[in-house]
């Protein structure tokens, strides 16, 4: 024990004063002649020992009073709890949860104020590392308390939920970079329900194996902490508990825009789409008369009033259309004052397209109707065009032209209307049928054209593309084609596992962002296609015959394939009527087989995914995605989860030779959904804060060469210019601010006029997930368990944390309990004297003089 004011401890010697007084008064008394001595002696004989004991207690109390007073004024420190040498510098790792929920109420204010007070209490030699939970991958900067203070001032609390274990792991990792041997980790968070949830269980299982839980992960982190000597102390500063927040159990009252979706997901120019927003009332009181505004970009387009029941949701739908191609954002903003204002607005990015150009490479050409290999497919891809041609015999030429162009038709009564029905029925796809022999020359013309005049007037959806031969095809369908056209064989190892590197024309096409749809058939040379190597599965023997008496059935894809989930589940599948008489046996790669065996084919990390299979388990449709070279893209894929599907392989033909699939009602929606899925696979409607965005250049850059520049407009109003090359996409990582990011690509050697002809911007929206807006605290038992696993201590306010830090560094100051003890002693002295020694005085005085009077 040490004293802060050691001199004051000498005052303890004052205890001799009451002792001396006691002894002095013990020897001083007056004498009195007394008659009733025998009564007095009886009393003394019985009570002598007790009276002496009372006297000694009184003397002890009186001696203790000056001793306690002196000790309290000397401010003693108990150093037995000291875990850090007081003068040793400490490395601090401040892990701050900057998720959106921290901006609810006064949590962020408390967090920053608490951290500032903690920084103020630090010693000069201490170093500080601040890790925001949204920037765990960023390099950790080590600085002084002043540096940390300035970083704290710049912090914004509008990110995704904190991944607790990843954040603590980052903090532990940062401890290894610390300069000082003594380290301390402070986790500042509101400890929401989703912080300690099991939401990332799949990733955990990948790392720690099957059955791993959050606690298992914490145990592992604890082991790593234990391997650091001396072991860093972990502290939790819980800013989620506050007297300002009325109901901790049910959470704060909040209204949020939960989601925005667009129906249909692929939006064409002038096509009416429905934007559906879900608003949630996360409170116990009804919300009524709330103004909700539909936004396109930052412009308010329409406003309506909505009412929501307690703990209920409400869906708002808005029908609109977009006249220009390019990227934009739509969303909904709710005007309501609640605990978390940031989630009252939610946006979603969308890409307004012109019709997609598709090449149908027909390996079995015929002039007869529905005899060509791709006739059924063409109808399925462009059903309205087919219908328009069919109906054209009954319509005027003017109307047909109007239909094709989507222009208004003025009726005889003077009402100017647009035939919306017709304009809504615009096909997504503009298909062009070519023969295999024409492919190379056409492709060469596309390449030679260098850049396409994609800024010209939008294509009319007429089912052919004769006037646009040089248009870059976004999808090429090979139907019963004998061998890959215009390709040279490549024996490189990469080709065997599906890579597009060095695989000739198709390889370059895929590298440019193109997609391939492969249909099998009798003309297909399996060896030739296998040797090319970009198909997701190897082609094997053809099984069955057209006279098969027991045709094969197709297993409903259900929820396994997102694009086809609406085509039916186990009970009411549209595939039930499909009969397959022949099919090609295809072999998946090893990785794909493993994922297939584990039952996670739809989400596996392998090169291919089984989308459709027979009831006997034979894969019938397999998809594979491109593998991008370059670390940044790999990282982007890893963080964003983008899987850009490049090739979809059917083990069936697209005519009726091997099955009745093209004749069944399921064929059209199946093909439509598949194409939509293929085209939208490179889109990121919304990304989470801190997640990298992948932006692909539009078609005119895919075929050109030379450098180009990305112009990025950020939500904070700043603009960035990024130079890229001709063959790769842009991976943009600075996405910590919520809002719409606008990407415009320009070739560096373009003139201003050519730049203006671009297809417009691509837009990505950064949004925080809706679960972050559910302001409920984590279960206390779970939180306690986490504390226990990490050996952490939790504090409700910064003062308690600072006190604990001081205790650990300098010991416990115990003057306060001593002062309390002193007060207790003073009270005890009075009470002992009044009631302990003469406890019957009141009764006696009542009996004596008062009775006598």
Partner 1 sequence: MRLADLFRARDVSRIESLRLIARGAVEGLSAGRHRSAKKGSSVEFKEHRPYVPGDEVRNIDWKAFGKSDRLYIREFEEETNLRCMILVDQSGSMAYAGERALPLASTDSKPDPNGNRTDKGTDKKRKSAADGSKASPPSWWKGTKQEFACGLAASLSYLLLSNQDSVGVMTFDARIREYVPPRMLPSHLNTILGSLAIESRGGETDLGLVLRHSLSKLPRRGLVVLVSDGLGDVESLGRSLTLLRAERQDVIFLQVLDPDELDFPFDDRIEFRDLESDGRREVVDARQVRSRYVEAMQRHNATIAAACRRSRVDHLILTTDLPLVDALARFVAMRQAGPVSGSLSGSGQQAVPPDALGGAVKGVSS
Residues that bind partner 1 (CB under 8 A): 25-26, 28-44, 46-47, 51, 54-55, 837-841, 843-845, 847-849, 851-853
Backbone φ and ψ of 323, nearest 5°:
-90, -15
Backbone φ and ψ of 478, nearest 5°:
-100, 115
Q: Is 551 helix (H, G, I), strand (E, B) or coil?
A: coil
Beta strands in 88-247 (DSSP E): 90-96, 127-132, 142-143, 182-189, 233-238
Residue 63 beta carbon to partner 1: minimum distance, rounded to whole angstroms: 18
Is residue 476 a contact partner of residue 496, using CB atoms and an 8 Å limit? Answer: no
Nearest CB to partner 1, comparing residues 317 and 852:
852
Residue 841 beta carbon to partner 1: minimum distance, rounded to whole angstroms: 7
Pairwise CA distance, residues 343 & 356, whole Å = 35
Nearest CB to partner 1, comparing residues 547 and 840:
840
Residue 53 beta carbon to partner 1: minimum distance, rounded to whole angstroms: 11
Residues 6+ apart with CB under 8 A from 706: 726, 747, 748, 749
Angle between helices 815-831 and 37-74 (to 10 degrees): 160
Cβ atoms < 10 Å from Cβ of 454: 18
Nearest CB to partner 1, comparing residues 705 and 838:
838
Nearest CB to partner 1, comparing residues 47 and 441:
47
Residue 91, strand partner residues:
127, 183
Nearest CB to partner 1, comparing residues 176 and 839:
839
Exposed / middle / buried, residue 257 (Cβ in 10 Å: 0-12, 13-18, 19+): buried
Nearest CB to partner 1, comparing residues 549 and 853:
853
Residue 34 beta carbon to partner 1: minimum distance, rounded to whole angstroms: 4
Question: Pairing state of beta strands 409-410 and 326-335?
Answer: unpaired
Place of tokens 């560094």: 809
Task: For residue 646, give the nearest of 498, 442, 433, 502 by alpha carbon.
Answer: 498
Residue 792 beta carbon to partner 1: minimum distance, rounded to whole angstroms: 57
Residue 41 beta carbon to partner 1: minimum distance, rounded to whole angstroms: 6
Residue 823 beta carbon to partner 1: minimum distance, rounded to whole angstroms: 25
Residue 26 beta carbon to partner 1: minimum distance, rounded to whole angstroms: 7
Exposed / middle / buried, residue 847 (Cβ in 10 Å: 0-12, 13-18, 19+): exposed
Residue 64 beta carbon to partner 1: minimum distance, rounded to whole angstroms: 21
Nearest CB to partner 1, comparing residues 34 and 547:
34
Residue 798 beta carbon to partner 1: minimum distance, rounded to whole angstroms: 54
Nearest CB to partner 1, comparing residues 396 and 840:
840
Residue 314, strand partner residues:
279
Nearest CB to partner 1, comparing residues 51 and 78:
51
Nearest CB to partner 1, comparing residues 47 and 371:
47
Is residue 301 a contact partner of residue 275, using CB atoms and an 8 Å limit? Answer: no
Nearest CB to partner 1, comparing residues 35 and 369:
35
Residue 492, token pair as written in the block: 């490189």
Cβ atoms < 10 Å from Cβ of 294: 19
Cβ atoms < 10 Å from Cβ of 415: 8
Residue 601, token pair as written in the block: 């084919």
Pairwise CA distance, residues 702 & 521, whole Å = 31
Residue 186 beta carbon to partner 1: minimum distance, rounded to whole angstroms: 60
Residue 826 beta carbon to partner 1: minimum distance, rounded to whole angstroms: 20
Residue 7 beta carbon to partner 1: minimum distance, rounded to whole angstroms: 37
Question: Pairing state of beta strands 90-96 and 76-78?
Answer: unpaired
Place of tokens 């022999």: 437
Pairwise CA distance, residues 102 & 94, whole Å = 16
Q: What is the DSSP letter of 789?
A: H
Residues 6+ apart with CB under 8 A from 656: 376, 662, 663
Nearest CB to partner 1, comparing residues 30 and 299:
30
Nearest CB to partner 1, comparing residues 37 and 753:
37
In angstroms, how far is the first alpha carbon of the chain from the final one?
61
Residue 38 beta carbon to partner 1: minimum distance, rounded to whole angstroms: 7
Rg over alpha carbons for the chain, rounded to the nearest Å, is 40
Nearest CB to partner 1, comparing residues 13 and 46:
46
Nearest CB to partner 1, comparing residues 753 and 852:
852
Beta strands in 486-525 (DSSP E): 515-519
Is residue 590 a contact partner of residue 598, using CB atoms and an 8 Å limit? Answer: no
Pairwise CA distance, residues 16 & 22, whole Å = 10
Residue 813, strand partner residues:
77
Residue 46, token pair as written in the block: 């019985």
Residue 56 beta carbon to partner 1: minimum distance, rounded to whole angstroms: 13
């Amino acid at each position: 024990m040490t004293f802060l004011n050691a001199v004051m401890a000498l005052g303890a010697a004052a205890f001799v004063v009451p002792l001396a007084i006691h002894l002095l008064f013990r020897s001083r008394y007056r004498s009195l002649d007394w008659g009733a001595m025998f009564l007095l002696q009886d009393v003394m004989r019985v009570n002598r020992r007790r009276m002496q004991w009372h006297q000694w207690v009184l003397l002890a109390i009186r001696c203790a009073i000056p001793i306690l007073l002196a000790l309290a004024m000397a401010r003693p420190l108990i150093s037995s709890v000291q875990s850090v040498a007081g003068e040793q510098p400490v490395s601090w790792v401040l892990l701050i949860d900057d998720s959106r929920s921290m901006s609810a109420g006064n949590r962020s204010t408390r967090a920053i104020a608490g951290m500032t007070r903690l920084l103020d209490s630090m010693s000069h030699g201490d170093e500080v590392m601040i890790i925001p939970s949204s920037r765990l991958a960023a390099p950790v900067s080590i600085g002084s308390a002043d540096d940390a203070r300035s970083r704290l001032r710049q912090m914004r609390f509008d990110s995704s939920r904190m991944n607790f274990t990843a954040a603590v792991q980052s903090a532990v990792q940062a401890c290894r970079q610390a300069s000082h041997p003594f380290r301390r980790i402070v986790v500042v968070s509101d400890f929401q329900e989703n912080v300690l949830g099991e939401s990332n269980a799949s990733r955990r299982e990948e790392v720690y194996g099957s059955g791993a839980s959050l606690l298992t992960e914490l145990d592992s982190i604890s082991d790593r902490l234990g391997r650091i000597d001396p072991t860093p102390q972990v502290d939790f500063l819980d800013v989620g508990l506050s007297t300002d927040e009325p109901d901790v159990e049910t959470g704060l009252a909040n209204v949020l825009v939960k989601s925005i979706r667009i129906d249909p997901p692929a939006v064409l120019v002038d096509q009416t789409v429905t934007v559906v927003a879900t608003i949630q009332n996360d409170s116990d009181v009804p919300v009524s008369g709330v103004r909700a505004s539909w936004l396109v970009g930052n412009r308010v387009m329409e406003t309506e009033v909505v009412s929501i029941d307690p703990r209920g949701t409400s869906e708002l739908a808005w029908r609109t259309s977009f006249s220009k191609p390019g990227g934009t954002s739509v969303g909904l903003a709710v005007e309501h004052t609640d605990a978390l204002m940031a989630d009252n607005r939610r946006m979603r990015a969308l890409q307004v397209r012109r019709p997609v150009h598709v090449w149908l490479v027909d390996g079995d050409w015929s002039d007869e109707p529905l005899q060509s290999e791709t006739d059924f497919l063409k109808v399925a891809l462009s059903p309205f065009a087919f219908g328009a041609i069919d109906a054209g015999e009954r319509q005027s030429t003017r109307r047909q032209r109007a239909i094709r162009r989507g222009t208004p038709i003025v009726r005889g009564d003077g009402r100017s209307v647009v035939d919306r029905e017709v304009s809504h029925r615009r096909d997504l796809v503009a298909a062009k049928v070519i023969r295999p022999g024409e492919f190379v020359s056409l492709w060469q013309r596309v390449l030679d054209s260098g850049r396409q005049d994609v800024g010209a007037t939008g294509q009319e959806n007429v089912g052919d593309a004769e006037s646009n031969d040089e248009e870059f095809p976004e999808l090429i369908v090979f139907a019963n084609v004998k061998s890959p056209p215009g390709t040279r064989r490549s024996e490189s190892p990469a080709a065997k596992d599906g890579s597009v590197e060095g695989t000739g024309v198709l390889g370059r096409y895929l590298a440019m962002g193109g997609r391939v749809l492969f249909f099998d058939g009798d003309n297909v040379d399996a060896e030739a296609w296998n040797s090319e190597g970009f198909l997701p599965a190897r082609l094997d023997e053809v099984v069955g015959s057209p006279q098969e008496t027991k045709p094969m059935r197709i297993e409903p894809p259900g929820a396994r394939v997102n694009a086809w989930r609406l085509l039916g589940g186990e009970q009411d599948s549209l595939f039930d009527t499909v009969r397959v008489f022949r099919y090609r046996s295809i072999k998946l790669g090893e990785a794909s087989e493993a994922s297939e065996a584990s039952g996670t084919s739809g989400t596996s990390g392998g090169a291919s995914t089984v989308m459709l299979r027979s009831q006997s388990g034979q894969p019938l449709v397999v998809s594979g995605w491109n593998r991008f070279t370059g670390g940044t893209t790999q990282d982007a894929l890893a963080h964003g989860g983008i899987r850009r599907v490049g090739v979809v392989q059917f083990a069936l033909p697209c005519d009726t030779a091997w099955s009745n699939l093209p004749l069944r009602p399921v064929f059209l929606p199946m093909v439509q959904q598949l194409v939509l899925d293929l085209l939208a696979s490179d889109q990121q409607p919304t990304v989470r804060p801190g997640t990298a965005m992948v932006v692909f250049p539009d078609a005119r850059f895919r075929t050109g060469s030379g450098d180009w520049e990305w112009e990025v407009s950020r939500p904070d109003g700043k603009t960035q210019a990024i130079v890229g090359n001709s063959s790769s996409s842009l991976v943009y990582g600075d996405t910590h601010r919520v809002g719409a990011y606008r990407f415009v690509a320009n070739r560096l050697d373009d003139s201003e006029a050519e730049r203006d002809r671009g297809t417009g911007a691509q837009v990505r929206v950064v949004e925080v997930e809706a679960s972050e807006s559910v302001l409920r605290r984590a279960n206390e038992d779970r939180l306690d368990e986490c504390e226990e696993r990490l050996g952490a201590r939790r504090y409700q306010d910064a003062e308690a944390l600072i006190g604990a830090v001081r205790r650990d560094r300098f010991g416990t100051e115990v003057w306060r309990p001593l002062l309390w003890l002193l007060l207790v002693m003073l009270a005890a002295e009075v009470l002992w004297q009044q009631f302990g020694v003469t406890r019957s005085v009141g009764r006696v005085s009542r009996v004596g003089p008062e009775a006598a009077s």
